[in-house]
Structure 1
């Protein structure tokens, strides 16, 4: 081939590339318009875009996190010295109940689901989530339920029986007014939301993956959220059943928990803790999954032991359902039965240890890039191992009997949840912030935040181990002078203020960086998973062309020569998504997804009226079902234009 022929060939290739680029730009603009939400008020009420719903979820959960933190600061201020009269016993009971309920039901679980809703479609090469209207409905139910609880608290009707709401303390004989009723209905709101989100996540991962993303190529973060979602499906109905029985006892004089009429007080504890201990893993497993996403990027190598990691996640989820009685070692449970739960409580440490060893192997064989997300990851190892060691101690019945109702348990719980969930969550926030906003957070501010949180958290909760061993009971609003608890409580309160300052630094950093942070680009960290192949922040449709996956880390494993790299044939002017097979992710069929609609919001409003009104009269259940039925019917009523569009798309080859 002479020089002229080579020149002509290069020119032809350049023209083809230019044409492809022009076509891609036109396709991108058309898809962005097709998948966009309406402007103005209708955007807030009608959006079904998974990224918008997820961002609302994240912001709302962070607001509840801040409120729960303020309540914790109020408790630590009350306990900073003996015989303090800043807060009275009734208000303190409401505050510590609201703090626990907020952190467990309104922050820890929903914020993990929110990250999954935002990230998983991008990680698996999808343009949306399954059931986008259900996703929007779940957000509104969560928001309305949390708002109801705080309005009740501001009206001096906040729950006061603990975040576990034990009967008979929460029952009709001892639970004054409507306090426990508001708590029980908050459970209904948040569990409905959590169950719906679990269905969305499972279906999205199993049916909307990009071609080629077989089950053994699914990102570990997605695996962790699938395991968590299955746990939610099996565990949350127990607490919903228990809270419904509690409301019925209080409102219509049933006797589920009244021993005088054949009920059983311990039935509540069994129902609640059958949910309550897996719930710790609803929070913990997503935290582990954050680490599995962050560590490979900052070690700059694929995760070590992928298959062992997946099996460990599944094993942890399975074993978590066999531990609930270790919360009940002080009840009249047969001693032989307690021994089985002791064994199970120790056994569950094994799959977590396997994951820790895999992470350590990944870090040890990689080239570490020390940035703020990695600092939070490394802190996880230190804090969680301490919390896990005290967990093994509490799994022993003799020790648990001695320290069960002391601050030792408070210290253990916070070491596990903060080390296993909050630190990984903040690492994930710094890691994916460029994806959310398109800008980088300030590294110096990030490290200041980390060290304040790290030292503050340990200073706040480590002394509580000693307080517990010295006999200081939990759930008390004050203590006498001369007990020897003064100094430890002072240090714990100072540590709590320090940790709160660290969190505040992160929030200020996030707000500053939103406008002034350095532009991130699509892949600022050099990650290997598909979310870094999209724009930062992503387009409404995520991917202009659906990718074809050829490895576990698609951005680190380019497609072999001569193989397909993208999917073609999906509609541009309609919200069409490719559905793939469960195991091998082979193209199955194309599905038309719904446009923005107000009916999830209106249905959530109707459901909220039903739930809140039923606190005051049982007849609300009957009459309140009418607007709910109307809203749901109109939600699913087929629209003529959508039917014609669907029929037209089905006729394509």
Structure 2
């Protein structure tokens, strides 16, 4: 026993590279693997958008030609527009971003790494299941990328049906690219479900002594709420795409009116997953924002309990509003009015969170380090996205806005600027804890401002395009829309440059950053349990469970 105790406190890592990273059951290593792979897939997905914005920079089709992709538009050679490659980019960007970038980074990456640390657990409840979850996610990434490179519709590579895979398009498309996309979503969905079971069990059974549910840090709460959303919504998606698979390959007619099916049924099943999905994406972001804002305002978070139950309320309400994506499919007026009302109700718990964050900063000693800048950017831009969401929730108004660029602007403000900003806030907040080295503060701020200006330049003009009536998902547009599209494309290039700078910052941090010697390199208001550990934490954490006075700084709730 004495030997075991001594061995336990030896912080040297004995495992070889292959054993550590490929056979890992350690929640910290698996969290890093999720972050690395989602960053790589994110690069692919963002690169696709750059190709799309190059094409949309000018009216007319200059680059995506049947003769081949042209980097520089040439007026001398003829160009037959290739709408298929455009549709493939739209589809791949959506599928990769939704299933393989934001959820794995926030839930799989930060969730795996920090949720057990914040509740004082030695590891996850099911470490091997954790390993399986990651490798299923990785397999899903490979299938999704393979889908883009496989024979699809129109005798070309890739499937171009939009990320929501609506029938009859998705049923009738040739090739096996579509089937690979379906399998990719299946496998990543199974990975997320297993991860969710693991998170829920860990959260409920492995909290430190004395840590009641009302004393758990807000980030850990956000992961718990997200896990329930995943557990309840992803099996529904799996059912929908399984029916799609059998419609494509086995002659069933779930979504074919000629055989008694209904394509609108698919939309209902898909969006029953699809709306909780957007909260799966943003709720962990809420948790990160809470930790960052409390730390850099040097105050405890304002209204802890309302913050917790606002997240729970958002999670519950997220399940009863799905058909607001479908106002134009011919539902009765009473159905539309219900979904309209229910959608607007979600603004209430969201408002509670926004105002509590503002109240946390109010009167605090606010310090604008890079993580705080990203949290502030999230607060501002997510609020803008929420306001346009209230506009779109009106069924009558949505008649005009449905499938225009107004919708694109709305959901990118909530995701490209809600989720992405919180991912970056989390990276800068915790990179010293995960890597043991300081990031360059000046470069971090440059990254923030480039990204902030870039995304606003990209997506704010799209509100105007939507109001003018420009529809989504088209490779070409009338000349009247040229000016705002040009500006939007410039913003996309700026955002892409900031993303490349981010990779450089991470490289510089891990290669040349100053070594961190203290446990808590922010301030005393970073008071959750991960800040009592060395940077980076040893392979085995909390071999003796933490005592209540190590983390319980606040009076009993």
The TM-score normalised by the length of structure 1 is: 0.79
Could you tell me which residue of structure 1 aligns to residue 85 of structure 2?
A: 91
CA apart distance, 1:419: 2.7
Contact map agreement 2:146 2:180 (CA 8 A) in 1: no
CA apart distance, 1:29: 5.1
Could you tell me which residue of structure 2 aligns to residue 123 of structure 1?
A: 118
Runs of 4+ that moved beyond 4 A = 26-29, 32-37, 556-559
Q: Deviations 1:163-220 (Å, cap 9, x if unpaired)?
A: 001000101xx21111221111111111000001111111111111111111111011
Q: Secondary structure at the match of 2:548?
A: coil
Contact map agreement 2:405 2:463 (CA 8 A) in 1: yes
Q: Secondary structure at the match of 1:165?
A: coil
Contact map agreement 1:78 1:84 (CA 8 A) in 2: yes
CA apart distance, 1:112: 1.2
Moved more, 403-412 or 378-387: 378-387
Contact map agreement 1:35 1:541 (CA 8 A) in 2: no
Judging changes above 3 Å, is the alpha-carbon distance between structure 1 residues 540 and 260 closer, same or farther for their aligned structure 2 residues? same
CA distance in 1, matches of 2:381, 2:271: 24
Could you tell me which residue of structure 1 aligns to residue 137 of structure 2?
A: 142
> After the TM superposition, which residues 173-252 of structure 1 pair with which residues of structure 2 at under 5 Å, given as runs?
174-252=172-250
Could you tell me which residue of structure 1 aligns to residue 164 of structure 2?
A: 164
CA distance in 2, matches of 1:90, 1:537: 47
Could you tell me which residue of structure 2 aligns to residue 20 of structure 1?
A: none
Could you tell me which residue of structure 2 aligns to residue 398 of structure 1?
A: 396
CA distance in 1, matches of 2:13, 2:135: 20
CA distance in 2, matches of 1:343, 1:462: 27
Could you tell me which residue of structure 2 aligns to residue 152 of structure 1?
A: 147
CA apart distance, 1:103: 0.4
Q: Deviations 1:546-599 (Å, cap 9, x if unpaired)?
A: 212248x54x4699xxxxxxxxxxxxxxxxxxxxxxxx9xxxxxxxxxxxxxxx
Judging changes above 3 Å, is the alpha-carbon distance between structure 1 residues 406 and 104 closer, same or farther for their aligned structure 2 residues? same
**2:49 aligned residue (45, 50, 72):** 72
The answer to which structure, 1 or 2, has the higher relative contact order (CA under 8 A, 6+ apart) is: 1
Contact map agreement 1:201 1:225 (CA 8 A) in 2: yes
Contact map agreement 2:409 2:463 (CA 8 A) in 1: yes
CA distance in 1, matches of 2:135, 2:13: 20
> After the TM superposition, which residues 322-333 of structure 1 pair with which residues of structure 2 at under 5 Å, given as runs?
322-333=320-331
Q: Establish whether residue 514 from structure 1 lines up as the match of residue 491 from structure 2.
A: no
CA apart distance, 1:27: 6.9
Contact map agreement 2:27 2:123 (CA 8 A) in 1: yes
Could you tell me which residue of structure 2 aligns to residue 485 of structure 1?
A: 481
Could you say what the CA RMSD is over the residues aligned between the two structures, in angstroms? 2.0
Q: Deviations 1:472-515 (Å, cap 9, x if unpaired)?
A: 111111123x3x11111110000011111112212111100112
CA apart distance, 1:32: 5.6
CA distance in 1, matches of 2:350, 2:555: 32
Judging changes above 3 Å, is the alpha-carbon distance between structure 1 residues 400 and 37 closer, same or farther for their aligned structure 2 residues? farther
Note the residue ranges of structure 1 that are not aligned, 5 or more in a row.
1-22, 560-583, 585-653
Could you tell me which residue of structure 2 aligns to residue 439 of structure 1?
A: 437
Could you tell me which residue of structure 2 aligns to residue 314 of structure 1?
A: 312
Q: Establish whether residue 133 from structure 1 lines up as the match of residue 128 from structure 2.
A: yes
CA apart distance, 1:544: 4.5
CA distance in 2, matches of 1:177, 1:305: 54
Could you tell me which residue of structure 1 aligns to residue 541 of structure 2?
A: 542
CA distance in 2, matches of 1:99, 1:48: 31
**2:38 aligned residue (58, 61, 71):** 61
CA distance in 1, matches of 2:442, 2:555: 34
> After the TM superposition, which residues 615-626 of structure 1 pair with which residues of structure 2 at under 5 Å, given as runs?
none
**1:504 aligned residue (482, 500, 513):** 500
Could you tell me which residue of structure 1 aligns to residue 376 of structure 2?
A: 378
CA distance in 1, matches of 2:24, 2:275: 35
Contact map agreement 1:53 1:139 (CA 8 A) in 2: yes
Aligned residues: 531
Could you tell me which residue of structure 1 aligns to residue 453 of structure 2?
A: 455
CA distance in 2, matches of 1:352, 1:30: 48
CA apart distance, 1:516: 1.3
CA distance in 1, matches of 2:392, 2:554: 45
CA distance in 2, matches of 1:60, 1:435: 19
Could you tell me which residue of structure 2 aligns to residue 530 of structure 1?
A: 529
Moved more, 331-340 or 498-507: 498-507
CA apart distance, 1:36: 5.7
CA distance in 2, matches of 1:138, 1:204: 15
Contact map agreement 2:328 2:399 (CA 8 A) in 1: yes
Note the residue ranges of structure 2 that are not aligned, 5 or more in a row.
65-81, 153-157
CA distance in 2, matches of 1:40, 1:490: 47
Q: Establish whether residue 421 from structure 1 lines up as the match of residue 419 from structure 2.
A: yes
Q: Establish whether residue 470 from structure 1 lines up as the match of residue 468 from structure 2.
A: yes
CA distance in 2, matches of 1:463, 1:477: 18
CA distance in 2, matches of 1:367, 1:44: 41
Judging changes above 3 Å, is the alpha-carbon distance between structure 1 residues 32 and 250 closer, same or farther for their aligned structure 2 residues? farther
